Homo-oligomer: A and B are copies of this chain.
């Protein structure tokens, strides 16, 4: 979010050389607010303003700038300043920042960084973008088990300036294996001569570096953690994921699920709508809509074969209505089922219980919808020459009723089956459902009409 309101005043203060006033003002604000105000300046002014600040403050503000503004700052800075600023970023923000950079810019910046920073970036590359290893922060407080509470607090004070959080400290053995966790709350409540080894919690929740980052977010949320330790295959502590990262992951996951359910393939979530090229949007959206378009050939063939049944203009007119209404109910069912799966309310083995529940819900819905279509058919078809209008009303209503209930059954079965196969139900459920519901809807419509009207 950018705040253009204060930019003119900032610009004036810069032009008049009131640098000390400006620096004090920016340091007193929350870095997020400072970032939002500074974003109203152009790249040169912004750089001048940032250069007035201590590196630590500059770093904090930089982390809250939008990606494109960050890139502008880097491009307008000299090599030394770039090096200092990027080195000062916390390791997870630095990795995310490098990842967002244009490839050409990244190749220029990379050699400027010092060895430890380069190694950290390379280490992350062995992980997929959505694995914990790629997003962890290496700035955690580490304590020895052989400290008293007093010494431990002194040690945390010493480490504090460079750490993501000081509220949890981790105890590791000589091989770097995670031994336990100690919260600052436990430390300040304890007596000063107690030992870390006696106080630390040894059964602490942890996550593997190769786990998906959504798993880390889930654990943080389920156990109400401020930070979650990340271990490698040998149980060595290699970083932490903090509560604020978890909130971002949860929010992004929600947005991604919504996209998946609309048949849009995985988003590169770092890309903004307008920044993403048309062709990239196209590539993410074309697979499902065209697959559905191909599968509609079956529907078309069914209608084509049965065209005789649709010689009545009224029966023809209600085909889209019946197909679409069943699809809507099916989509609702799959939505609540996917939600229940996501929230852990039930697992795929609950299929029969879900079907029984949905059978009752969809029967209620079908009763209402059939009544609506009965009236609609009567209204449009009462002056039709070739048939008994009430029989026609009955045929269409019955077709809709059967289709609504069967679409609800499909809407429950498809996501549960996909989940049983250990795939993400949000990925395929709704688009697959649309097609199946349309296919079965057309079939049910023709069969019912043939049976009722002969």
A binding-site residues for B, Cβ under 8 Å: 1, 28-30, 32, 153, 156-157, 160-161, 166-167, 184-185, 188-189, 203, 205, 217, 220-224, 226, 243-244, 246-248, 250-251, 253-255, 257-259, 261-264, 272-274, 278-279, 281-282, 285-286, 288-290, 292-294, 296-297, 299-304, 307, 310, 313-314, 316-321, 323-325, 328-329, 331-332, 335-340, 342-346, 353-354, 357, 360-361, 364-365, 368-369, 372-373, 376, 379-380, 431, 434, 438, 442
Q: Which residues of B lie under 8 Å from residue A160 when comparing CB positions?
A: 185, 188-189
Task: Knowing A167-B167, A255-B343, A320-B442 are in contact, say whether A300-B336 is a contact too (CB < 8 A).
Answer: no
Given the known A-B contacts A30-B205, A188-B153, A220-B247, are A286 and B320 also in contact in the complex, defined by CB atoms under 8 Å?
Answer: no
Q: Are A438 and B324 in contact (CB under 8 A)?
A: yes
Q: Which residues of B contact A156 (CB under 8 A)?
A: 188
Please determine whether A335 and B286 come into contact, CB atoms closer than 8 angstroms: no
Complex interface: chain B residues within 8 A of A320 (CB): 296, 299-300, 303, 319-320, 323, 438, 442
Pair A263/B332 contact, Cβ less than 8 Å: yes
Known: A30-B223, A184-B167, A303-B313. A372 touches B335 (CB 8 A): no
A346 engages B274 (CB within 8 Å): yes
Chain A to chain B contacts (Cβ below 8 Å), 22 pairs: A1-B344, A28-B203, A32-B222, A157-B188, A166-B184, A221-B251, A226-B226, A254-B255, A257-B258, A258-B261, A258-B335, A258-B339, A273-B339, A274-B345, A282-B361, A292-B324, A293-B376, A299-B321, A301-B380, A304-B316, A304-B380, A324-B324
Contacts of A274 in B (CB 8 A): 345-346, 353, 357
Given contacts A279-B364, A285-B365, A300-B321, 15 further A-B contacts (CB under 8 A): A1-B344, A32-B223, A243-B244, A255-B342, A255-B343, A259-B339, A285-B329, A290-B369, A290-B372, A293-B321, A293-B325, A293-B373, A300-B320, A320-B320, A324-B434
Residue from B184, B221, B297 within 8 A of A247 (CB atoms): B221
Q: Output the residue of A1, A189, A336, A438 with the most chain B CB within 10 A.
A: A336
Q: Which of A222, A247, A365 has the most CB of B within 10 A?
A: A247
- Evaluate contact between B345 and A273: CB separation under 8 angstroms: yes
- Is there contact, CB below 8 Å, between A328 and B222? no
> Given A29-B203, A290-B372, A324-B434, do A224 and B244 touch, yes or no (CB 8 Å)?
yes
The distance in angstroms between the C-alpha atoms of A344 and B272, with both chains bound, is 10
- Report the bound CA distance from A239 to B379 in whole Å: 59
Check if A361 sits within 8 Å of B304, measured CB to CB: no
Which of chain B's residues have a CB closer than 8 A to the CB of A313? 303-304, 307
Question: Measured between C-beta atoms, what is the minimum distance from A296 to chain B in Å?
Answer: 4
Known: A244-B224, A246-B247, A332-B263. A372 touches B303 (CB 8 A): no
A316 touches B289 (CB 8 A): no
Whether the pair A189, B157 counts as a contact (CB closer than 8 A) is yes
Q: What CA separation (Å) do A289 and B325 show in the bound complex? A: 7
Residue of B nearest to A334 (CB): B262
Chain B residues in 8 Å Cβ range of A353:
274
The residues of B that contact A380 with a CB separation of less than 8 Å are 297, 300-301, 304
**A234 vs chain B, min Cβ distance (A):** 23
- A364 and B282 contact, Cβ closer than 8 Å, known pairs A273-B346, A304-B317: yes
A29 to B224 CA separation, bound complex (whole angstroms): 14
Distance of A203 Cα from B357 Cα, bound (Å) = 52
A167-B185, A318-B300 known; A361+B285 contact, CB < 8 A: yes
CA distance A314 to B338 in the complex (A): 37
Q: List, in ascending order, chain B residues with CB within 8 A of A300's CB.
A: 314, 317-318, 320-321, 376, 380
Interface centre among A255, A285, A289 (most CB of B within 10 A): A289
Complex Cα distance A369/B297, Å? 13
Q: Whole-angstrom distance between the alpha carbons of A278 and B408 in the complex?
A: 14
Task: Across the interface, name the chain B residue whose C-beta is closest to A244.
Answer: B224
> For the complex, what is the distance from the CA of A307 to the CA of B153, rounded to whole Å?
83
Is A332 a contact partner of B289 (Cβ separation < 8 A)?
Answer: yes
